[in-house]
Structure 1
Amino acid sequence: MIDNEYTDAHRLFLQASLSERFFTEAKAIEIYRKAYEATAIQDQETFTEFMTTLNTKLNSIELEFRKSHNEEDGTAVWALVNTNGDEIAQMATDYSPIEISFFRRLIELIITADDESFSVSSITALKEVVKLKTSITKSNGEILLQRFIDDKWLSISSGGRYSLSLRSILELQHYLKKEFEDYISECILCYDIVTKGQRCQVAQCKARFHHHCARRYFDSRNNKICPNCQIAWDSSNVFGDSDSINNRSRTRRSTTTRRSQRSVVDEADDDQMDQDDD
C-alpha cells in the first residue's frame, strides 16, 4: 500500500534535479523511473503522486517543483524554484547586488517593452550598464548577459533580442504580477503568464493565448471567434515573437517605401502624359 512516504527514490530524484533545476517532463519521468530502479522500492507512487510527495517535503525549505509549458511549442516542463517572498533575492547567492540591480532593470525593460514585444535589444541592454552608473563595463556587461542566459534567467532570439526565460517566468511569477500588474497578461485558457503568443485584434480586448493553447482551443471549434469579445480571431496577430514582429515591421516599411516610389513614378508618368496631351 502506498503511504506517500518520502523515500530514497525521492532523495535520488532531488539530487539529480539540483544540478539541472529545469527540465522537460519527459526527462523528469525518466529520472523518476531510474530513481525507483536504483532503490528497488516495490510500492511505487505514480509520477503525479511522486511529485506531490516531493513538494510536501520541500515546502519546509521554501522550494517547490512547478510544472508549466514551453511558450513556443507547448512542451511540458518542470522547474525547481524558490517560493519565498522576493524571489529575485534568491539570486544573491550567485550574483552581486550590482548585478541583481542590472537584472531588475532588464526585467522592467522587457516587461514594459512597446507593443508587447516582451524583449529588449542587446544595444539597449548594454546602454543600461552605463545608465546605472555601476562598475560594470560594457565588456563585462556582455559577459553578464551571457551568464544570465547560461543560468536560464534570460533567452536570446536569433535576432539578438533578450527576453525572459521560462525559468524566470516560473520562479519570478509573484514578483512579476506584483510589480508589473498593468503589463503582465495571463493566457485565457491555462491562466499562466504569457509573453509569447496570440492576441485579439481588438485593441481594448485583453484576450491572450499561448500559441499551443490557441491551437488546442480553436482546433475544436468550427469558427475562430475571440472567447472574450466574440470578434473573428486572427492567428497571425502575435506578440512577444520579437524577430517575427521586427520582420513584419521591416516588411511594412519596405512595402510603404515601394508604394511611395511607385507613387513618384506614377506622378511622373501623369505629368508626361499631360505634356503629351498639350
Structure 2
Amino acid sequence: MTTQDYSDTHRLFLQAVISRRFMSEKDAIDLHARVCQATKGMSSPFDQDDFTDFINTVNDSLSSLEFEIRRAQDEANGDKILALTNTNEQKIAQVATGYTPLELEYFKHLLDAIVTADDELYCISSTAAVNEASKLKNKENKSLQLTKAGAEDLISRFVQDKWLIRSKKGALSLSTRTLLELQSFLKEGYEDQIQECTLCMEIITKGQRCNVAACAARLHQHCAMKYFGNMNNPVCPSCRSPWDGKTLIGLAPNAEAPHTIRRR
C-alpha cells in the first residue's frame, strides 16, 4: 500500500466529514465515490485497500491539528462507522469544546456515574441524572448552581451532540463518540471499571459476559454472534464454561435504569 498525494479529492471528502462528524462506513464509501467523480470525472469500483490508503492520507493531514478519522463498530448493532475524533483525549475540556466549565463539570459527573454504575450497567436514568445536578461541587468543595430545568436542557444537549445516548425509557449511556474521543481518558481514569471485549479488544459497555463471576470475558453482541455462530454448545472463549448469553453487561433491552445511582 502506498501513500497517496493529498489532493482536492481528499479536501472535498474531509469537508463533508467535518460537517457530519459521524457516518456509516457505507455512507463514507459512497461519499468517496462521489468526490472522486466530482474531482476526477470518473467512478471506479470500490477497493478496500485504496479506501484505507485514502483515509490514511487524510489522517496524515489532520495529525498536526490533533484530529483523526477513526473506524469503529456501533456497540448496539455492530454497524461499521467512521468518525472524526479529537486525538487529544487526556482532558475532557480539550475534547468537548463549546461547553462552559459548569456544563463540563456536570458532564464529568454524569460520566462518572455511568462508568461506575453497579453491576456493570453502564447507564443511569434521566431522573437520577437530573437529581445529580444538586450535588455538583467545584475544586474548593463549594456547591455549583445548576437547576433541574437547566440539567434537563443540558442532558438533551449532550444527547443531541452525541456524547450520550438516551433510550426510549430514559436510560442514559455512553455514545460511540464518547467511547472513541475519550478512550484514553476512560481507560486511564477508570482502569478498574472499564472493560474490553475479549474478541475485538475495544471498550465494551453493552453486550454479554461470562456466567462465571471470576472470569473477565466480555463480548459485544455482534462479536458474540460471529464467534458462537457455528457452535452447537457455546463455551466461554476464556474459561471454557458454558455460555448462555443471558448474563449481560449494560442494561437489558427495554429495561428501565434504576432511579437512584448505585456505584460499584
Q: Which has the larger radius of gyration?
A: 1
Q: 2:66 touches 2:86 (CA, 8 Å); kept in 1?
A: yes
Count of matched residue positions in the alignment of Structure 1 and Structure 2: 248
Q: Which residue of 1 aligns with 2:21?
A: 21
Identical aligned pairs, as a percentage?
A: 45
The aligned residue for residue 99 of structure 1 is 103
Q: What is residue 261 of structure 2 aligned with on the other side?
A: none
Match of 1:106, as an amino acid?
A: L
How far apart in 2 are the matches of 1:160 and 1:237?
A: 22
Q: 2:30 corresponds to which residue?
A: 30
Provide the C-alpha distance between the structure 2 equivalents of 1:80 and 1:191, rounded to a whole number of angstroms. Answer: 21
Distance in 2 between residues matched to 1:92 and 1:218, nearest whole Å: 38
CA drift at 1:86: 2.0
Alignment-derived partner of residue 67 in structure 2: 63
| 2:70 partner letter | R
Task: Give the 3-state SS of the residue equivalent to 1:110 in structure 2.
Answer: helix
Matches within 5 A, 1:166-245: 166-244=176-254
Q: Distance between the aligned counterparts of 1:125 and 1:95, measured in 2? A: 18
How far 1:222 moved relative to its partner? 3.7
Structure 2 CA distance for partners of 1:131 and 1:192, relative to 1, 3 Å: same
Q: Cα distance, 1:188 vs. partner?
A: 0.6
Alignment correspondent of 2:6: 6
1:87–1:171: 8 Å Cα contact kept in structure 2?
no
Could you tell me how far 1:41 is from its partner in structure 2? 6.4
User: Which deviates further from its counterpart, 36-45 or 165-174?
Assistant: 36-45
Structure 1 residues not aligned, in runs of 5+: 250-278
1:161 paired residue number: 171
Q: 1:85 to 1:213 in 2, by over 3 A?
A: closer
Q: Distance in 1 between matches of 2:198 and 2:237?
A: 9
d(CA) in 2 for partners of 1:119, 1:243: 12
> Where has structure 1 moved over 3 Å in runs of 4 or more?
41-45, 242-247
Preserved contact between residue 62 and residue 83 of structure 1 (Cα < 8 Å): yes
Structure 2, unaligned stretches of length 5 or more?
137-142, 259-264
What's 1:260 paired with? Answer: none
State whether residues 159 and 243 of structure 1, in contact with CA within 8 Å, keep that contact through their aligned partners in structure 2. Answer: no
Determine the C-alpha separation between the residues in 2 that align with 1:107 and 1:91: 14
Q: Secondary structure of the equivalent of 1:182?
A: coil
Following TM superposition, by how much is the alpha carbon of 1:124 offset from its aligned partner in structure 2, in angstroms? 1.3
Deviation, 1:91, is 4.3
Shift of residue 142 of structure 1?
0.5
Q: Which moved more, 1:42-51 or 1:4-13?
A: 42-51
Structure 2 residue matching 1:129: 3-state secondary structure = helix
| 1:102-113 correspondence to structure 2 within 5 Å | 102-113=106-117
Q: TM-score of the superposition, structure 1-length normalised?
A: 0.84
Q: 1:48 to 1:136 in 2, by over 3 A?
A: same
Give the aligned residue type for 1:151.
D
CA–CA separation in structure 2 for the residues paired with 1:85 and 1:148: 18
Q: Deviations over 1:217-241 (max 9, x none)?
A: 0113343010111100011212213
Q: Deviations over 1:131-185 (max 9, x none)?
A: 1132321111101000000000000111111001010001101000000010111
For 2:173 and 2:105, how far apart are their aligned partners in 1?
Answer: 17
Q: Match of 1:158, SS?
A: coil
Question: How far apart are residue 246 of structure 1 and its match?
Answer: 4.6
For residue 160 of structure 2, what is the aligned residue in structure 1?
150
Structure 2: distance between partners of 1:80 and 1:65 = 4
Bigger share in helix: 1
Q: Which moved more, 1:45-54 or 1:174-183?
A: 45-54
Separation in structure 2 between the aligned mates of residue 27 and residue 135 of structure 1, nearest angstrom: 43
Q: CA deviation at 1:42?
A: 6.6
* Residue pair 2:209, 2:219 contacting (<8 A) in 1 also: yes
